[in-house]
Structure 1
């Protein structure tokens, strides 16, 4: 949901991306782990809600999402203007029973997360996830329309 995330491990790769270098090596074991998990039958899906025109950070994420998708994760995109009824916060949904609502501080720094297991809230966020998924488009289709448009 955010146009930028201040994640220390991404600062150098982001700068390298802005300098024209795309190297998925900085993702470490994440891509092989996703590949192994998806081959074992687990699903990893994300919808990224982004502002248009894309920020540098969103272009960075969209570029690297190709590697995630290739590994087996399905990352899709939704323009912010098409997400008016969705929650305005980031969350991860695990097994449709547990929500991790991400908590951010100043300068987009991730402070942690709040675990939510209240069934009413979890059901609502499951619904919102499904609505976002329904309206989102594949990473490749979104990239073809927006990646080089500034």
Structure 2
């Protein structure tokens, strides 16, 4: 495992040749970029989502070039405020080209997950693990090109993906 940075994550997301997959396993995150926007949502205030512009533009570019971007979210039900907030604007991501699915945590019982939970796999060649504090803020990133580990992450993602429900059809309990 090699230490990585947020810039490395962004570069890997932008630089794919064919695909990336992203597994999210936490019910709540506390990223500095998201917290003020989630607070607006809690207060019922509108958000122009301009802060997501770079990500949405990247997704549009990948879709136009025939590359795929998929995200699977493992969630507890009832959903946390964070997950309800992300669902409120998931359409922005799917319209831009990212396929998003949800898997309620009890359906995960038979799935073995590698690493510390959240990860990306880029072009079936590089795994990037995201490590979080108890409060949900990012603590560190690590990458690996170990073929067995990348394959384990890819297989775990595909298993979760096959069990999950597309965001447009997901109806949380």
Task: Determine if the TM-score, normalized by the shorter chain, exceeds 0.5.
Answer: yes
Structure showing the higher strand proportion among its residues: 2
Larger RCO: Structure 1 or Structure 2 (Cα < 8 Å, ≥ 6 residues apart)?
Answer: 2
2:169 maps to 141
RMSD: 1.5
Map Cα deviations across residues 99-144 of structure 1 (whole Å, 9 max, x no partner). 00111124221022111221111111111111011111110111xx
1:131 maps to 159
Deviations 1:4-28 (A, max 9, x none): 1110111111011112235322313
Q: 2:106 aligns with which of 73, 81, 85?
A: 81
Of residues 32, 48, 52, the one that matches 1:8 is 32
Cα distance in 2 between the residues matched to 1:29 and 1:65: 15
Answer yes or no: is the 8 Å Cα contact 1:86–1:132 preserved in 2: no
- Contact persistence 1:13–1:26 (CA under 8 A): no
Q: Secondary structure at the match of 2:36?
A: helix
Q: Secondary structure at the match of 1:108?
A: coil
TM-score, normalisation: structure 1: 0.90
| Cα deviation 1:21-58 (Å, max 9, x = unaligned) | 35322313211221122111111101010110000000
State the alpha-carbon separation in 1 of the partners of residues 126 and 51 from structure 2. 29
Query: 1:52/1:86 Cα in 2 relative to 1: closer, same or farther (>3 Å)?
Result: farther
1:102 aligns with 2:130: yes
Q: Would you say 1:35 and 2:47 are equivalent positions?
A: no
Q: In structure 2, what is the Cα distance between the partners aligned to 1:67 and 1:22? A: 14
Any unmatched runs of 5+ in structure 1?
none
Aligned partner of residue 141 in structure 2, secondary structure = strand
For these two proteins, the number of residue pairs brought into alignment is: 145
Mark the runs of 5 or more structure 2 residues left unpaired by the alignment: 1-24
SS in 2 for 1:5: coil
**Greater shift after overlay, 18-27 or 50-59?**
18-27
Quick one: distance in 2 between partners of 1:112 and 1:43? 26
